[in-house]
Amino acid sequence: MQSSAVGGVSRVLAGTLPRLALTVPRTATGLAREVGWAAAHLAMYPLGLRPAERPGTRTRHDLDGLSPQQRGLLHHDVDSAATPILLVHGIIDNHSIFTVMEHALRRRGFATVASYDYGLLTSDIPRTARRLGDAIEKLAADSGYERVHVVGHSLGGLIARYYVQRLGGDAHVHTLVTLGTPHHGTELARAARVLPLIAQLTPRSPVIQELAEPAPDCRTRFVAFHSDLDHLVVPSRNARIDHPDLQVRNVAVRGVGHLSMPHNRRIAFEIAATLRDRDEAVLPS
């Protein structure tokens, strides 16, 4: 009996230790990168206090002045290359968080990448979603494209989703990509729920419950990145979108912290690949 028990423990350890050997270094590396990006972002933050540049206008089929990558994407799909992309930052942040992401998207051929800053004094998601909607609709009108793409980090993804799902924004947003967004709220918010905005981020808050309501006619496709190393979305699975009426692909990433997600080149590459194929439906996960 004792020998059998020892043998069982040995088999469990034999299966567990190799996984730990792989997981611990990945976690340590991810945490180190998160600290590094946090420090770098603090240094870049003042640059984001300046208004984001408005995207220039360009004739859809004009190849003059385009990089080889942009020309390649244009040859693949003119509309994919020219469809505007709007980047929306997270809480207590600004557009400087997207410096790497914007550069990566432009290098992969997307001609129009803009940012939206909703301000430090934001206190209500539905009200901010209406203002974001005005910016999206103006970007669409200025570009000549009826629908644009939106990439939202953290709270920015939730604001964009509220606009798309509750304010008719699916008429103007083709694809919404979210990075570390608390779609089901975060337990961390309970510690500061006396603040109106933070209260809206608690699980089962009125905003979170609104987003769980039926949305049978929503035309926007969603891609939600969630990470096992996200220290702000607790539990990390709450960054998934689980809604029966929405066309969603949830993408799990490992060893990438909350602040590191907008800087991660693998994530940027996957976003670019998704936006490159405008007419391809995302596969649910």
- Please state which CATH class domain 20-52+67-276 belongs to: alpha beta
Number of residues assigned to the chain: 285
Whole-prediction pTM value? 0.80
* pLDDT of res. 149: 98
173's tokens: 């947003």
Structure confidence by residue, pLDDT tens digits, 25-36: 556 665 666 666
157's tokens: 């993804």
Residue 37 · residue 31 · CB < 8 Å = no
What parts of the chain have a pLDDT lower than 70? Answer: 1-78, 280-285
* pLDDT of res. 33: 64
Supply the DSSP string of 117-180, one letter for each residue.
Answer: ---TT---HHHHHHHHHHHHHHHHHHHT-S-EEEEEETHHHHHHHHHHHHSSGGGTEEEEEEES
